[in-house]
Structure 1
Amino acid sequence: MERHLTLRERIVDFVKEAIIKGSLKPGERVPEPELAEWFGISRTPIREAFRELEAHGFITFTPRKGAIVSPITDKDVRDFYAIKGLLEGYAARMACQKLTEGDIKRMEELNEQMTKCAEKNEVKNFFKLDNQFHDVFLKVCGNDKLYNLIHTIVQQFERFRRTSLSLPGRMQSSVKQHYEIIDAFRKKDMALVEKLVKANAEKGGELLAQEILKEKS
């Protein structure tokens, strides 16, 4: 049975979707009074939701405007994806000899579900499945500190990843890259799997960075 979202979670989801879809643009104020009126609530749950949104890189607090949509630059994107690629690539290399056939089949199942999400353009569900896909080898790598570090960084930049996945063709290309990663894991090719996982991150970052530059020009 699917768990009902709390009020805070509903507000967080609402604002995230508005930012990712471009209804709220970088530098624009996130209207606290209007949100309170829309949801028919006091401002306390709104402020709790804002703290979570700030922690995940969606909004920033400024002295005069209050909560605004965090600015996003191509350099920010490239820097994040470079770190993500290096850390996840190393984790994949460490997990390569440890993954069982059951782990690999689980990754295949998740990628099949992602294929269906890509066909229906379901970015939110694709994002959740993508996290689970990467978690399979991250948990097996045997380094808890690395696992926690990657999760902390990835959580802080959720906005980048979801925005990148929403770009035309990105979900489909990610699925294709995942199948190549699965094949490399099955062959126990440590060098190749590290290269492919790193490339998967870099591809998402480059597409988003180019989109940001295009919007500025």
Structure 2
Amino acid sequence: MAQLEEDVLTETTLADEIAFQLEADILAGRLQPGSKLRQEELCARFGVSRTPIREALRKLQAQRLVTFAPNRGATVRTLTRQEIEEVYDLRAELEGYAAQLACARADDDFDRRLIAASSDVQTRAQPDPDRDVSDRKLNVEVSESIRGFHHIIQETAGNATLVSVIRDLEALFLGSFCSHEMADPGIAERLHVDEHRGIQDAMLARNGAAARELMRGHILHAKKILLDYLDDTGFWAGHDDTDDQEQPND
């Protein structure tokens, strides 16, 4: 049983790493809209079986970066600028509200967990200089630490419906979690380290209004970094608005 659980965990981690790299390739324009994502080619590229490849493609489908159609397999799709703006604007308001609610429910245990999560973000967002920013495992680690910080606040808000909606939006597009690749190091450090620390300090002070505004500004800042990056790379050219929802079977 333990070996089975370890195998499942390994495949899930591989799927996360592969999905992250493919997402980065799509956002950087290395994979153009309409490009085919053939499973056998991806297996060869990443040196894995089809299982983590299928899981990675499902993750990208949930983000609406990949579509599936009968007899066509997986194809790269591009979100529109309006879709990205709508997702981030909603997240900014909802995550800000969650931060305000969490302030009213926070306790000593919350403080300890939030400080630890903030420290983890800082550690992972400022890695050993020998590790390249394109390192798939590093990117997943940074993303997970950021997600953990946000999730602690959301779960403390005490509103299950609110958390569910935020998670749906989060799953739709994860660009904010790879923005350390999209901005120069100084901007990325402000986004990941300074802004999380500011949110933490407002939460520890139980200043709900400040926490709400800081969280809102943080999400909107991530949106700006993402959109500026996509504008600069010409991401919108050749957009394909197809949205087939078959499952990967290539």
Measure, in 1, the Cα distance between the counterparts of 2:227 and 2:29.
Answer: 20
Q: Are the equivalent residues in 2 in contact too, given 1:98–1:141 (CA < 8 A)?
A: yes
Alignment CA distance shift 1:175-1:118 (3 Å): same
Structure 1 partner of 2:64: 57
Equivalent in 102, 105, 121 of residue 98 of structure 1: 105
- Letter of the aligned partner of 2:208 in structure 1? M
SS of equivalent residue, structure 1 residue 213? helix
| 1:211 matched to 2:229 | yes
Going from structure 1 to structure 2, the CA distance change for 1:105 and 1:36 (only over 3 Å counts) comes to closer
Distance 2:115 2:86 in 1: 29
Pairs aligned (count): 215
Shift in alpha-carbon separation, 1:144–1:59, aligned structure 2, 3 A: same
Worse-superposed segment, 162-171 or 128-137: 162-171
Offset at residue 16 of structure 1 (A)? 2.8
Q: Deviations over 1:45-93 (max 9, x none)?
A: 6445433331233312256753122214433322211111111111111
1:92-137 alpha-carbon deviations (Å, 9 max, x no partner): 1111121113312321222122112122153321211111111112
Q: 5 Å matches for 1:8-157? A: 10-11=14-15, 13-21=17-25, 22=28, 24-27=30-33, 28-37=35-44, 39=47, 41=49, 46-47=53-54, 49-62=56-69, 65-120=72-127, 121=133, 122-157=138-173
Secondary structure, aligned partner of 2:144: helix
Percent identity over paired residues: 23
Range 50-59 or range 139-148, more displaced:
50-59
The TM-score, its normalising length taken from structure 1, stands at: 0.84
Change (3 A) 1:76 1:64: farther
- Paired residues of 1:18 and 1:24 also in contact (CA < 8 A): no
Instruction: Give the letter for the 1:119 counterpart.
Output: Q
Any idea what SS the aligned residue of 1:34 has? helix
1:172 matched to 2:178? The reply is no
Kindly indicate whether structure 1 or structure 2 has the higher relative contact order, using CA contacts under 8 Å at least 6 residues apart: 2
Q: Distance in 2 between matches of 1:216 and 1:45?
A: 30
Unaligned runs of 5+ in 2: 128-132, 236-250
Instruction: Give the TM-score of the pair, scaled to structure 2.
Output: 0.74
